[in-house]
Amino acid sequence: MRGGIATLAMSFGLAAGAALAQPAPKSPPPPHFPWADQAAPMVAGVSLGESRGKVVAALGQPDATSAQPAAPGQFVLSYKARGINVVGSGKQCVFAVTLLSPAAGAVGAVHVGDNLPTVLRAWGRPRTVNGPYGIYDGKGFLAIVQFDPATMLVAHLGIASKSID
């Protein structure tokens, strides 16, 4: 599919909007983000707010660890072979988990490599579309889907706390 970011933004709005405009008489309600009123799901065996030690216990030693110069006290644990990044704060608490490859797993029913219709069926329309990103609002967290504008497939997928403690 061509058209890049503009097509992505329109697809989020039009695909779900068309389904809502003419529902079948006995059709189920449109998809709803599964965690709209719930805490964030565990992703790749890691929960938001967990300690760095629990991450290492769940995933093993990272392939690389880096500090964030623009954000003193923050760190990234990179599991390159698994396609997972875990970001934490100076208090050693996880505030974001990002999946970078299909082998990394899923957030609920959505995987890296899924197409836009699959995401819309699983989670409904995002709260916000910003360029190639669809942003879903959960209880205390955001789920973020990044699409590759050239292929319209999920390139990255993750969850992040709304506040960093």
Domain spanning 4-161, CATH class: alpha beta
5 or 113, greater pLDDT:
113
SS3 content of the chain, % helix, strand, coil (to 5): 20, 35, 45
| pLDDT for 154 beyond 80 | yes
Q: Quote the CA–CA distance of 61 and 115 in Å, as a whole number.
A: 32
Domain coordinates of the chain in residue numbers?
4-161
Instruction: Determine whether 145 is exposed, middle or buried from the number of CB atoms within 10 Å of its CB (0-12, 13-18, 19+).
Output: buried
For residue 15, the 8-state DSSP code is H
**C-alpha to C-alpha distances, 107 to 44, 68, 71, 99, nearest whole angstrom:** 8, 25, 26, 9
159 or 163, greater pLDDT:
159
pLDDT digit string, tens, across residues 6-32: 433 333 443 333 333 444 455 555 578
What's the pLDDT at 72?
78
Supply the mean pLDDT for the chain. 83
Cα dihedral: 142, 101, 14, 25 (round 10): -90
Q: Quote the CA–CA distance of 104 and 159 in Å, as a whole number.
A: 14
